[in-house]
């Protein structure tokens, strides 16, 4: 009998996932036999030094990239072999994204960006969604910025718009890739607070890729990647503990390489 992800409380799951680039002697392994699930309603951080495969893992889980081997599920639906059109629909309806920067369509104003995921589906937001957008705009302090275009906003404001857009469709999971990477530390903390409260009060599932221990310390659960493998799976930790774990990882990696 097939095990359902939902029975395990998971919204996204990969099993025996491998991802390689190139062939022969140039073959590079980005992910090596990774099996992991993102738990519903949790704020999960995926940590690792650069080149550890954390971004690749996120791309595959979010249907942006295809695995070389293994299987990928979103909810109970296997997406391993879905074609481009199906993956596109999936991203549109069931996944939200927040990146380090360049999150917003430059030619659309804030409201245009917030409504884009609905319009891509060929419809207007229904009254309930309309209400949700309004509430998000209000709580993120964007009410007097709705007619502004992205280049007229500060980095922190742009990031808040991106979060509002990701939350507006109530996706199964939001993937955030270094969402604080381009922000000053105070604005970064605000953004992390927003993501955290979306999980706490809104029940939103979020998976965040980062290499910043400070950012990861806001998460409920932390996955450590090194050399394409999950090396540690931990509950919430302080920034200091995370830094220490990371330093150990790097010395282990350096030892392995030597």
Partner 1 sequence: MIAMLREHASTLIVSALSALFAVTLILFTGILTAAIDPAVIEESGTFRAVLMMVALIFIVIALYVGAIVTANTFSTIIAGRTRTIALLRLVGASSARVRSRVAGEGLVAGLLGGVAGFGIAVALCAAVTVWGPQLGWLPEGRDYPLFDPLALVAVGIVALTTWAAAWTGSRRVGRVSPIAATGAAVELPAEQSRRRPARTVWATILLVSGAALLAIGIVLGLATPLALLISFVGGILSFTGIALGAHLIMPPLLRLSGRAFGRGPSGRLAVANAGRFPERSARSTIGLVIGVTLVTMFAVALASYETMTLQAFAHSPALRAGLSETLAVTTAVFTGLVGFSAVIAAVGLVNTLSLSVLQRTRELGLLRVLGFTGAQVRRMVLVESAQMTLTALGFGLLLGVFYGWAAAQSLLGSQAGLMAPTVPWPIIGGVAVFGLVLALVAAAAPARRAIRVSPVAALAAQ
Q: Is 117 in the site for partner 1 (CB under 8 A)?
A: yes
Q: Which two tokens stand for residue 58?
A: 């996120």
Q: Which two tokens stand for residue 229?
A: 């493998």
Q: Is 151 in the site for partner 1 (CB under 8 A)?
A: yes
Give least dist CB 241 to partner 1, A: 28
Binding window for partner 1 (CB under 8 A); candidates: 11-19, 29-37, 96-104, 222-230: 96-104
Q: Give the span between the Cα atoms of 53 and 47, in whole angstroms.
A: 10
By CB under 8 A, name the one of 107, 186, 235, 257 that touches partner 1.
Answer: 107
Q: Which burial class, exposed, middle or buried, applies to 247 when counting CB atoms under 10 A from its CB (0-12, 13-18, 19+)?
A: exposed
Q: In what order do the strands lie in the sheet with 69-74?
A: 28-39, 10-21, 69-74, 77-78
Contacts 24+ apart (CB under 8 A), 115-119: 116/165, 117/92, 117/165, 117/168, 117/169, 118/168, 118/169
By CB under 8 A, name the one of 40, 91, 145, 221 that touches partner 1.
Answer: 91
Binding window for partner 1 (CB under 8 A); candidates: 20-28, 103-111, 136-144, 244-252: 103-111
Q: Which of 9, 29, 7 is nearest to 18 (CA)?
A: 29
Binding window for partner 1 (CB under 8 A); candidates: 10-18, 84-92, 219-227, 239-247: 84-92
Give least dist CB 111 to partner 1, A: 12
Q: Give the span between the Cα atoms of 142 and 161, in whole angstroms.
A: 8
Q: Is 65 in the site for partner 1 (CB under 8 A)?
A: yes
Give residues with Cβ within 8 angstroms of 159, minimum separation 6.
98, 103, 179, 180, 183, 187, 191
Question: Site map for partner 1, 196-215, x if CB under 8 A?
Answer: --------------------
The residue count for binding partner 1 (CB under 8 A) is 33
Give least dist CB 206 to partner 1, A: 16
Q: Which burial class, exposed, middle or buried, applies to 98 when counting CB atoms under 10 A from its CB (0-12, 13-18, 19+)?
A: buried
Q: Is 239 in the site for partner 1 (CB under 8 A)?
A: no
By CB under 8 A, name the one of 48, 67, 75, 150 that touches partner 1.
Answer: 150
Query: Residue numbers of the site for partner 1 (CB under 8 A)?
Result: 55, 59, 64-65, 84-85, 88-89, 91-93, 97, 99-103, 105-108, 112, 116-117, 119-122, 150-151, 155, 177, 182
């Amino acid at each position: 009998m097939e095990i359902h992800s939902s029975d395990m409380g998971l919204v996204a799951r990969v099993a025996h996932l491998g991802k390689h680039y190139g062939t022969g002697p140039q073959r590079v392994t980005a992910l090596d036999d990774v099996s992991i699930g993102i738990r519903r309603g949790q704020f999960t951080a995926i940590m690792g030094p650069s080149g550890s495969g954390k971004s690749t893992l996120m791309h595959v889980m979010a249907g942006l990239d295809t695995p070389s081997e293994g299987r990928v599920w979103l909810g109970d639906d296997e997406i391993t072999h879905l074609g481009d059109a199906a993956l596109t629909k999936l991203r549109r309806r069931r996944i939200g994204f927040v990146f380090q920067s360049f999150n917003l369509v430059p030619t659309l104003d804030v409201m245009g960006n917030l409504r884009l995921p609905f319009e891509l589906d060929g419809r207007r937001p229904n009254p309930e969604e309309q209400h949700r957008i309004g509430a998000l705009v209000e709580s993120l302090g964007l009410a007097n910025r709705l007619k502004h275009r992205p280049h007229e906003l500060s980095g922190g404001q742009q990031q808040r718009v991106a979060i509002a857009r990701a939350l507006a469709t109530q996706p199964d999971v939001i993937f955030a890739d270094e969402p604080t990477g381009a922000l000053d530390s105070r604005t970064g903390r605000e953004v992390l607070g927003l993501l955290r409260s979306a999980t706490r009060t809104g029940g939103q599932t979020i998976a965040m890729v980062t290499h910043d221990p400070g950012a990861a310390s806001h998460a409920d659960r932390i996955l450590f990647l090194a050399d394409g493998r999950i090396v540690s799976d931990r509950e919430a930790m302080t920034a200091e503990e995370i830094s220490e774990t990371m330093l150990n990882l790097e010395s282990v990696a350096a030892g392995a390489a030597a």
